[in-house]
Amino acid sequence: MKRVAVTGMGVVAPCGNSPDEFFANLVAGRSGIGVLPQVSPRLTTRIAAAASFDPSTHFPAPRLRMLDRVSQLALVATKQALQNAALELSDDERATTGVFLGTGMGGASTTDDGYSTLYQESSDRIKPYTVLMAMNNAAASWIGIEHRLSGPNLTFSTACSSSAVAVGEAWLRIRSGAAPVMLAGGAEAPLTLGTLKAWEALKTLATEDTRDPAASCKPFSLDRSGLVLGEGAAVLVLEEWERAMRRGATVYGEIAGYGLSTDGAHITRPTVDGQARAMQLALDSAAVPADAIAYINAHGTATLQNDAVETAAIRRVFGTHADRVPVSSSKSMHGHLLGAAGAVELVATLLAARSGTIPPTLNLRIPDPECDLDYVPNVARREQDIELAMTNSFAFGGTNAVLICRRA
């Protein structure tokens, strides 16, 4: 089995447009959640976590006409990750280097625009690029095209665990020796009227905190009311360990384990069984005991269901260690990036281990008897010795993906 190093990371997300800026804001407890700049009177929801991202500074106009926002975010995160990794690939390596990306909603704004043209304007003039912009694999495809990577190019769509699955599957590929390098991550751009309305209809979105809209996402708190949608992308360069060592690459951490399970029970309601199984499988694949984990970046969506079930699942897997291991939800600050969540939170987890600093769960003011772990409430915890950390990603549909990383 090969070991897998993370040698490059790129982030475009609420809270920051680079891994360092993103993580610094998390540690400082600065929320990326706010009132949407363009609020439709048809939306009850006014809050979301938008990325501070002006595509025109990254792409010329003709390119933008072919790229949905989700692909724009993915391409910019990829560029960062590759520059960060200072990677030089031989032609042979390009032929095996693949792109595994996760997205839940794909080109949501393009789909929205197309329907608006068709149904609202009663026009048949659908943009010629609509299919190419809206298809879920567009972002991954553009990454492959732009960087001439001709290994497998796959898009995983398992809702909110999409990008954790993408990273996990890429990890398996390098581990098995099938590829020396993989780009893996996720992207999501769901802040469109149609997508926001659909999520609103699902009754899972947080009620706005009228005193402080930025504090609307309250994971594990008794007064939590749901998730806050966010947009963004994170892409990681995964590299076979020896290759990374030979070229003297900066290693941000090692992906050490991956557990994948499916609830097989309900389309939205999570199960303790399914989540616990994914965590246990991740521990098994990393060959580490539960009490070696020094930090858990929780799925922590701030929905009533998730946070209680995840707490119970952590208790089941970690036993008495559950009372000692710090667990935090960075979603309290960057919101829920759906298909990009797993990758964005993996970056936070890797940097937590690397820096020894655990980002807090913001807005946790009222304890919930069903959520009784150490959630690192409201203030970051510094000078922690984190050799191994876990990050959880669960999903509608029931696909649970858990990654374990080791400090390099």
Partner 1 sequence: MTTTFETMKRIIVKDYELEPERLTPETPLADVELDSLAITELIFALEDEFKVVAKTNGQGMQTLGDIAAYIDQLIAERDTPAARTGS
Question: Catalytic amino acids?
Answer: 160, 299, 336
State the Cα–Cα distance between residues 297 and 9, nearest whole angstrom.
18
CB of residue 136 to partner 1, shortest distance in Å: 20
Distances (CA, A) of 22 to 10, 160, 232, 309: 10, 20, 11, 28
Verify binding: residue 60, partner 1, rule CB under 8 A.
yes
Verify binding: residue 129, partner 1, rule CB under 8 A.
yes
Residue selected from 128, 177, 264, 289 as contacting partner 1 according to rule CB under 8 A:
128
Closer CB to partner 1, 127 or 316, in the complex: 127
Two tokens at 130? 């609509």
CA proximity to 73, closest of 229, 190, 214, 182: 190
Cα 316 to chain centroid distance, Å, stands at 24
Verify binding: residue 246, partner 1, rule CB under 8 A.
no
Two tokens at 195? 């997508």
Decide if 127 contacts 116 (C-beta within 8 A): no
Verify binding: residue 127, partner 1, rule CB under 8 A.
yes
Closer CB to partner 1, 90 or 120, in the complex: 120
Closer CB to partner 1, 146 or 374, in the complex: 146
Closer CB to partner 1, 126 or 265, in the complex: 126
Stretch of 77-85, 122-130, 153-161, 174-182 contacting partner 1, by CB under 8 A: 122-130
CB of residue 129 to partner 1, shortest distance in Å: 6
Stretch of 42-50, 54-62, 86-94, 278-286 contacting partner 1, by CB under 8 A: 54-62
Decide if 202 contacts 190 (C-beta within 8 A): no
Residue selected from 62, 120, 201, 320 as contacting partner 1 according to rule CB under 8 A:
62
Closer CB to partner 1, 65 or 266, in the complex: 65
333 sits in the region (left: phi over 0; alpha: psi -120 to 50; else beta) called alpha
CA proximity to 44, closest of 276, 160, 205, 220: 205
Residues facing 11 on adjacent strands: 234
Residue selected from 41, 57, 61, 203 as contacting partner 1 according to rule CB under 8 A:
61
CB of residue 53 to partner 1, shortest distance in Å: 21
Verify binding: residue 59, partner 1, rule CB under 8 A.
no
CA proximity to 341, closest of 393, 271, 264: 393
Q: Which amino acid is at 137?
A: N
Verify binding: residue 42, partner 1, rule CB under 8 A.
no
Closer CB to partner 1, 111 or 329, in the complex: 111
Subset of residues 65 to 84 that bind partner 1, contact rule: CB under 8 A: 65
CB of residue 75 to partner 1, shortest distance in Å: 18
Cα four-point dihedral sign 185, 189, 190, 191 = positive
Decide if 358 contacts 352 (C-beta within 8 A): yes
State the Cα–Cα distance between residues 252 and 34, nearest whole angstrom.
30
CB of residue 121 to partner 1, shortest distance in Å: 12
Cα 131 to chain centroid distance, Å, stands at 25
Verify binding: residue 121, partner 1, rule CB under 8 A.
no
Which residues sit at the interface with partner 1, rule CB under 8 A?
Answer: 60-62, 65, 125, 127-129
